[in-house]
Structure 1
Amino acid sequence: MELFEIIPTNFFNLLSGKNQNLYVNALFEVFKAYEQGSILGMDKQVAQQVVIDYLEMHPHSEVDDIDVEATNRDKANQILRRFEECEWVDIDVNNDYVEVLNFRDYAITIIEALRSVTQDNLYGYDDENHEFRGYIFTAYSLLMNEHVEYAMVIDQVYKNTIAFVREIRKLDSRLKFYIRSIIENSEIRDLIHLLVNYKVELVDQAYYRLKTSDNVHKYKLEIIKRLELYQQNPVIMETIAREYLLKANNNYELAKVKANKKLDDMIDIYNSLDWIISEIDNKNKIYVNTTIAKIKFLLNDDENIIGKLNRILKFVANKVKSKKTEQALKQIQPLFLFQQNNQIANSSIYTPRGAYIRSKEQFLAANEDTPSNRLQEEFYKEFESNYSTDVIKKYLMEYFKTRSSIKASEILRSDMSDEAIMRLLYILIYAGDELDYSIIPLRTDIEHHKFRLADFEIIRGYDL
C-alpha cells in the first residue's frame, strides 16, 4: 500500500507552520497523557487541560487565528482543533455524550519516531538504552551460549549488529554536522557554545563511551570466530538454511545464499570496526583542532584592519536595529573624511638630506639582549604559557583546593585576556577523556569586552 494512501495529504501541515514547535510540544504532552489513560481513549477535557498546563508553563506561546489576548482555554481549543483538522486525532462522542479523543494509528507510529529523535542521547538526552556496548554484548552473549536455535540466534545477532551500525552512523553524522558548523559560524560566542554542546552531547554521551567503557574490541574477535565457525560447519549452515526456506520461497539454494550473505555481512562489519573507529577519531580531531584554530584567528583578527571594520559594521548594525541610523552615520562620518590640501608646499613633502659624518671609532656596544637570549626567553615564555594537560590540571587544582566546582564566568572575572579564553577552550577539550572533570552548560552569559560567551560549570572528578 502506498504511504499517502494511509497518511492524509494535510497530515504534515502541523509540522510546517510558524507554530510548529508549539504544536509538536503540545502534541507530545497530550500523547503522554493519552498513553497513561484509558485504552479506549481520553476525555477531550483532559486533553484540553493538558494543553492549558503547557501554555501556562510557556506564557509567550502564540497560536494562529487567535487573538493575543485570548485565554489559554481558547488557545487550547484551537490547538486541539488543529490536531483534528490535520487528522492526527479523532474526537468522537460516546454513549454518555462525552467527547473522547483518540490518536490515529499512523499518528502514534510517527509520534513515537519523533519522540525517539528528541530523546536520543546524541542530542543531549542521556538514555542508557543507547549504549554501543549493549548491542555488541547482546550479540556476544547470544553466540557464546550453547543452543540449537541457530537461525533465531543469527537473526538476533544480525539485528543487534545493524542497531550498533545505526548508532555509529548517527555519531558520524553528528560529527559531520559539527564540522560543517565551523564554516557556518564566524562568531567566537557561537563557536564556543557549539564546542560546549559537542563536549556534553557527543563526546561524553557517545564518543567517549565508544572509546572506553563501551569498547567493542574485547568482544569483536570472539564474535568473528563464532560466526566463521558457523559458516564453516555444514550441519549448522544446513539447519539455518532450512529455517530460511520460508523467506526464500522454499528454494533451498536461495536459502543457503541468504544465510551465507547474512553471516558475511556481519563478519565484514566486525572486521571493519577498527577502520570505522579510526575515521571517527579523525573527525573528532578535525573538529577540535579546526575550532581552536578559528577561535585563535578570530581573537587575533579583532586587532587588525578587518577586525576593526567588523566592529564598525556591528556598531552601525546595532544602531540601525535600535532605529538610530542618523546618529550612527554622524558618529562614523569622521572616520572616512580625508584632509584636503589645495596647495602642496615643499616643506610638506620634502625633507632635505642631512650631512653624513663618518665616525672614526665605531665599537660594538655590549648588549645583553642578544638574539640567542631573546629566543631563549621566548621559548620559555611559550613553554610556560602553553595549554598541555599538565598546565591545565595545575591551573584547575588551584581552584579545586577549596571547592568542587568552578564556573567559567568566575575564572574570567579577573582575567578577560585572549590567553584566558584559550585556556577555557582547552579546559573544555580535556574534560572527561584527558582529565577527570566534567562540563555542565549554564543558561547565563559571560559579558566579554569583545563578545558575549555562554557560561558553563566545571565539576571536579574523583581522581583530580
Structure 2
Amino acid sequence: MANLFLEIPDSFWGLFRSRNRQVYIDALLQINEEYQYSNYYLSREICIQTLSDYFAKTRVVMVQDELEDELDMLEPLSTRILNWLLKAGWLRKVDDYHNMTVNIVIPDYAAVFVDAFTHLAGEDEDATQVYIQNVYAILFAFKNDPRCNISLLKTALINTRKLNKTLQDMLHNMDRFFASLLEQKNYGDLLREHLDGYVEEIVQKKYHILKTSDNFYLYKTDIKQWLSQMRQDTAWLERVCVRNKQLRGLDITPEDIISQLDLIDRGFDDIEHRIMNMDAEHTKYIRATVTRLNYLLNQDDNMKGMVIQVLNELSGSSDEELEQKLALTASKMNFSQFTVISDRSLYKRRKSRQDFAAELAPEEEMEELTRDEILQLNRMKNRYSRRQIRSFVLDRMVDGRYTVTSDTVSSLEDFEKLVLAYDDSVRKDSPYRVLDQEAPMVEHAGYRYPGLVFVRKE
C-alpha cells in the first residue's frame, strides 16, 4: 500500500476539491464499465465516444477547473473531461507502438477509488451473496480436494469477515430511515419515502438477499456441518498436514487448521447474530412506519392527534404567546366528553404502591396431596354412583332448599357423600347448586364441615 501512495500524483486529490467532482466520478464509472467490457484496453476514441453517449442523455453544468486553461474550455464536453482525468492522474495513456494506437488505462491506485465509487453508487448490492457462496465453495474444495492447502482457509476467513462487515454496514445504515419518518409532514410523502426509499434500498436490494430461498441459511447448515466434521476427524487433519508439507513445504500442525476453522465458525455465529439484529430493526421500522402513517392519516379526526398538534403549537410559542394560547386552549376544552372520562382516556390514574406490591407478591403454592390422599379420593369417587350422591341432597330438600346441619353427617358414608355432592354442584348438568354465602362451620360426631345451603336449579 505504501508503494501505491508514492505513485499517486498531487493533482490526483484535486477531484475531491473540484466543484465538478460528480461529473468526473460519473465519467470514471462509465469508462470503468467500458474498460471491463473491452478486456481492459480502451483507445482514446472509444473513451470519447462512451462519454459523449452518456452525457448526451444528461444535462451537465461545468465550471473551469484549476488544471484547465482557456483552450480546454473550448473543447467538446467529453474531450474536456477525458483531458482533465488524464492530467489529474486518474487515467493514464499507454502507447502501443505495434498497433500504432494510444490506449487509456486505469492505474492501480485509481482502480481502488473507482471500486469505492462503484460501491457507493450501489452497483454491487449482491456482495453478501458472493461472499457466502465463496466461503461455501472454498470449504467444499478444502474438504474434498487433496491438492488444496491451508491458504484456502485464510481466504474463506477473509470472505467471512467481509460478509460480517457488509451486514454490519447494512445494519448501521438502517437508522437513517427512522429519522426520515419524522421529517415527512403528510401521508403521501411518507408512503413515497417508505416505498421508494426503504423498500427499494433495504428490503429489495439488501434485506431481500437474506430472506429468499437462496439465502445465507441455505449455505450455513452445510458449512457448519463441514467445520464440525473437519475438526473432529483427526486422521484427516494429519493427512492435510502431511500433504501441505510434501507438496508446498508448509510446516503446519492440526492445531493450526483447527484454529482457522474455529475462527470461521465464530464468524458465522456473528453473522447470525447480525441477521437477528437486522430482523429486530426491520420489525421496529415497519411498526414505526405504520404508526406514523396512521397518525398522519387520522390526525385531524383522532383525539390524540389533535392533542399532539396543540402541544406542538404550544411548544413553539414565545412566553407572551404561550399564556394567551393556554388561556384560549383552556376555554375550549370539554371534560364532559366520554373519551375524556372513560377508561380509555389520555390520562390514567396510577395505582398505589400497595396495589403494585400486591401484584408482584409471589402466589401461594398449593400444597400437593400425598399418595394416600389421592388413592382415598379415587376410592371415594368410585364407591358411590352419581344417583346416590344426588339423592343424598335431593331427598332432603324442602321447597327446593336444603341446609346442612349437625344432623346431616352421622357416619363416614354421610361425610363422603356430602363432599361429593358439593363437588357435583359445580357441574353444568347438576340439578342443584350451592349458594354463595359464608357458611358457619359445623362439628358433629368427630367430623367438621361447613353448613352449606343447596338449592334446586330452575
- TM-score normalised by the chain length of structure 1: 0.53
1:217-236 mapped onto 2 (5 Å cutoff): 217-236=217-236
Q: What amino acid is the match of 2:164? A: V
Are 1:77 and 2:79 matched, yes or no? yes
Cα distance between partner residues in 2 of 1:54 and 1:120: 17
Q: Of residues 67, 89, 105 in structure 2, which corresponds to 1:87?
A: 89
Q: Which residue number corresponds to residue 18 of structure 1?
A: 19
Q: Which residue number corresponds to residue 204 of structure 1?
A: 204
Secondary structure at the counterpart of residue 58 of structure 1: coil
Cα distance between partner residues in 1 of 2:289 and 2:74: 45
Cα distance between partner residues in 2 of 1:217 and 1:129: 12
Cα distance between partner residues in 2 of 1:94 and 1:148: 40
Cα distance between partner residues in 1 of 2:243 and 2:77: 57
Cα distance between partner residues in 2 of 1:100 and 1:146: 42
In the alignment of these two chains, the number of paired residues is 313
Question: What CA deviation, in whole Å up to 9, does each residue of 1:261-282 have, x standing for no partner?
Answer: 2111122233455433221111
Q: Which residue number corresponds to residue 388 of structure 1?
A: none
Change (3 A) 1:130 1:309: farther
Gaps of 5+ in 1: 313-334, 339-368, 377-464
**How far does residue 37 in structure 1 lie from its aligned partner after superposition?**
4.4
Q: Which residue number corresponds to residue 174 of structure 1?
A: 173
Asked if 1 retains the 8 angstrom alpha-carbon contact of 2:210 and 2:216, the reply is: yes
Secondary structure at the counterpart of residue 10 of structure 1: helix
Q: Which residue number corresponds to residue 107 of structure 1?
A: 110
Cα distance between partner residues in 2 of 1:140 and 1:99: 44
Q: What amino acid is the match of 2:106? A: F
Secondary structure at the counterpart of residue 57 of structure 1: coil
Change (3 A) 1:190 1:22: farther
Cα distance between partner residues in 2 of 1:274 and 1:41: 44
Cα distance between partner residues in 2 of 1:159 and 1:230: 19
Gaps of 5+ in 2: 300-304, 325-336, 345-458
**How far does residue 308 in structure 1 lie from its aligned partner after superposition?**
6.7
Question: What CA deviation, in whole Å up to 9, does each residue of 1:421-451 have, x standing for no partner?
Answer: xxxxxxxxxxxxxxxxxxxxxxxxxxxxxxx
Change (3 A) 1:267 1:163: same
Q: What amino acid is the match of 1:287? A: Y
Secondary structure at the counterpart of residue 304 of structure 1: helix
Asked if 1 retains the 8 angstrom alpha-carbon contact of 2:48 and 2:79, the reply is: yes
Q: What amino acid is the match of 1:304? A: Q
Secondary structure at the counterpart of residue 263 of structure 1: helix
Q: Which residue number corresponds to residue 283 of structure 1?
A: 281
Change (3 A) 1:4 1:305: same
Cα distance between partner residues in 1 of 2:254 and 2:150: 11
Cα distance between partner residues in 1 of 2:35 and 2:208: 37
Asked if 2 retains the 8 angstrom alpha-carbon contact of 1:89 and 1:102, the reply is: yes
Asked if 1 retains the 8 angstrom alpha-carbon contact of 2:136 and 2:223, the reply is: no
Are 1:264 and 2:262 matched, yes or no? yes
Cα distance between partner residues in 2 of 1:121 and 1:292: 31
Are 1:8 and 2:4 matched, yes or no? no
Question: What CA deviation, in whole Å up to 9, does each residue of 1:139-193 have, x standing for no partner?
Answer: 675477575746366456445534543442343233244345446x354466444
Secondary structure at the counterpart of residue 23 of structure 1: helix
Asked if 1 retains the 8 angstrom alpha-carbon contact of 2:129 and 2:209, the reply is: no
Secondary structure at the counterpart of residue 213 of structure 2: coil
Secondary structure at the counterpart of residue 101 of structure 1: strand
Asked if 2 retains the 8 angstrom alpha-carbon contact of 1:136 and 1:164, the reply is: no
Cα distance between partner residues in 1 of 2:147 and 2:100: 57
Q: Which residue number corresponds to residue 31 of structure 2?
A: 30
Name the structure, 1 or 2, with higher relative contact order (CA <8 Å, separation 6+): 1
When the two chains are superposed, the root-mean-square deviation of aligned CA atoms in Å is 4.7
